[in-house]
Structure 1
């Protein structure tokens, strides 16, 4: 959940959507994202919309309290029901992210899920995920989540090396994320993800291989591996600027990506999005696929983004302001935009090209088609799918995905 919100037109006080947004809504999947903005400490690389207790003290009073947060979120879920009116869809995916969602009591997360179920219903086989810090859960906590309807959990492992975790300001100890996978499995979680980060200053190829080996040894059915992005304004950016730690270059990131793909593929994982691998189709993150394919989702929580039928909006950032608006019955929306056909075409290319089945060539304009032929000749797109009318990245193309996308959207 990025910390900087875009500009946009005002959101009506009651959150009303244009009639066009709900046209033919039954043909589109509906998901729910729930943002929990609280963290025990701030990681040095993070620029998400998150807050520690000291950052909230005196800047929102009781309204920003973690103790009241579940009730505030439930108010927004009920608002969503009013805004979407008689929309008949059940919710197909729920994803609780942060921040650290598991800083809330498990009972609060279960109550939030219960409110979504009560207001909208959950589709048969709905995917229900929460993110979790490895040092914020134990078997009893995981058991309560599983009993309450959660069936997928994503642990922030990042690295198996202590010196890398220290640079990232992660508080868990090496080995704890792997233990969490076993605990989640023992409590009946069907799907478990581990998040990894590569390219941390001071990390070696050997460190990265050790992290992958540790993750694979834990037995998850999904692994996400992201290149570290040093965001301006973060503690890590300041440390690099002062020369305390080195900056990792793009060539190192490329090498680490290749190592990840090689080791994950050898272990029976298959890439289905540039940064995501799963053992089976059932193990893929359905909620993220909903984003990547431009479906509908309601984002609840401070700074959360939503999209319904070509209307995108985002909530006010601060937990106090967010709770204050809902306390008066008003929408917490800070701004919104109506996407044009051209906006949606470009976004489809940007997102779908990152997927294993790529994007239709029919989305491309003549300049983009010409660029796609060059990419094919350069070995960045796969020949077979191209002949069938789809642009699908090769392994080399995945390394250069951002550049390929820029050319194809012309």
Structure 2
């Protein structure tokens, strides 16, 4: 099961925020994340807060989940008061949001628009498994106002998918991409994983070729992490599968950067590539420290330097909202030092880099340039490809 939530400080029962956090609301970009915690099967590598029907048990229903999500959207409106907070991005993740009817996902979006208001040209994304949608479903989703779909492709190689416990047929991916285009979506993204035990470099090349053949607007490619408590971790511990090899992961990252770049997809964050103008604006909000409200069990939020996280289990989440109580489990108020550390951690990962004004004057920038980890520059610190491979080490050098 997923790891435990952090302890934090007590969160107010009404969800209220300090006046200092609310002071700038509406002047900073605002996004809304909706966590849909349902999956048909649990993938062996996944430690996200998701549940199959068996794991949910009695008393929790997909059919009533949208009512609870809408209730939290209304809570957000109450907490934010009468401030004008146009929502610039919406992102439905999970889990598999498209296990819910398209009409239910439409209800969530309507509630966001009615309570907070969608900004003109808002980016509205949902994640989807390739075997969870068809053309008719995608057409209804597009009609409901969704503009972007992110498909969980992971790999194009059957034995790699099997090791990951992914159930879709890799041949399904180009079919649903074409269906989404036919339905009129503005942007399409593919999520990939590299470094699965047993995946060769040739396997990864096959996946990259298949992904780019579908002409996506955006690709996310993450190295496999063996998370404690997952089925994959137990298999590794028993010696059934090897741990991912760091040199192999580096080779596959370079292959991804070269292949995606040749296909017209440039990197804009260490693990994300897109066509010009197709960057995921919602995720950029996370990396830039903007405001966002996370709806759903286990969802995290950040507004004006206050971060909080909801109770994990859908039953506890439903009980709290049903009682008119905030679903927040705990929160923390970030001090200036913590916010600076997080800014360095996140912004240094971006193609735009970190302003030199945010870099400690004693940081060994010249040495990082000499080591080929950052680009020579006087105004921004930008990682080279080698620096992207060693981003964690660069951050350690930048922080006092």
TM-score (norm: length of structure 2) = 0.98
Alpha-carbon displacement from aligned partner over 1:132-155 (angstroms, at most 9, x marks no partner): 011111111100100000000000
Paired residue for 2:206?
A: 210
Paired residue for 1:15?
A: 15
User: Which SS does the other structure have where 1:26 is aligned?
Assistant: coil
Paired residue for 1:172?
A: 168
Distance in structure 2 (CA, Å) of the matches to 1:309 and 1:379:
36
User: Which SS does the other structure have where 1:27 is aligned?
Assistant: coil
2:281 is aligned, of 258, 277, 286, to 286
User: How far is the alpha carbon of 1:2 from its aligned partner?
Assistant: 6.4
Tell which deviates more after alignment, 101-110 or 238-247. Answer: 238-247
- The count of aligned residue pairs is 400
Paired residue for 2:45?
A: 45
Tell which deviates more after alignment, 181-190 or 356-365. Answer: 356-365
User: Which SS does the other structure have where 1:350 is aligned?
Assistant: helix
1:360 is aligned, of 352, 355, 364, to 355
User: How far is the alpha carbon of 1:390 from its aligned partner?
Assistant: 1.2
Distance in structure 2 (CA, Å) of the matches to 1:211 and 1:179:
15
Paired residue for 2:340?
A: 345
1:104 is aligned, of 88, 100, 106, to 100
Distance in structure 1 (CA, Å) of the matches to 2:25 and 2:50:
32
Paired residue for 2:381?
A: 391
User: Which SS does the other structure have where 2:387 is aligned?
Assistant: helix
User: How far is the alpha carbon of 1:321 from its aligned partner?
Assistant: 0.2
Mapped pair 1:244 → 2:237: no
Distance in structure 2 (CA, Å) of the matches to 1:254 and 1:309:
36
Paired residue for 1:256?
A: 252
Distance in structure 2 (CA, Å) of the matches to 1:306 and 1:24:
16
Mapped pair 1:155 → 2:151: yes
Distance in structure 2 (CA, Å) of the matches to 1:377 and 1:22:
43
Distance in structure 1 (CA, Å) of the matches to 2:224 and 2:4:
19
Paired residue for 1:145?
A: 141
TM-score (norm: length of structure 1) = 0.96
5+ long unaligned stretches in structure 1: none
Alpha-carbon displacement from aligned partner over 1:225-280 (angstroms, at most 9, x marks no partner): 00000001100111111121222211000000000000011111110000000011
Alpha-carbon displacement from aligned partner over 1:22-59 (angstroms, at most 9, x marks no partner): 1122320110000000100000000000111001114x
User: Which SS does the other structure have where 2:294 is aligned?
Assistant: strand
Contact kept, 8 Å, 2:217 with 2:274, in 1: the verdict is: yes
Mapped pair 1:124 → 2:120: yes
Paired residue for 2:375?
A: 382
Within 5 A, what are the aligned runs for 1:289-328? Answer: 289-328=284-323
Contact kept, 8 Å, 1:3 with 1:303, in 2: the verdict is: no
Paired residue for 1:403?
A: 393
Alpha-carbon displacement from aligned partner over 1:272-316 (angstroms, at most 9, x marks no partner): 0000000112x1100000110000000000000000000000000
CA-atom RMSD in angstroms: 1.1
User: How far is the alpha carbon of 1:6 from its aligned partner?
Assistant: 1.2
Contact kept, 8 Å, 2:2 with 2:229, in 1: the verdict is: no
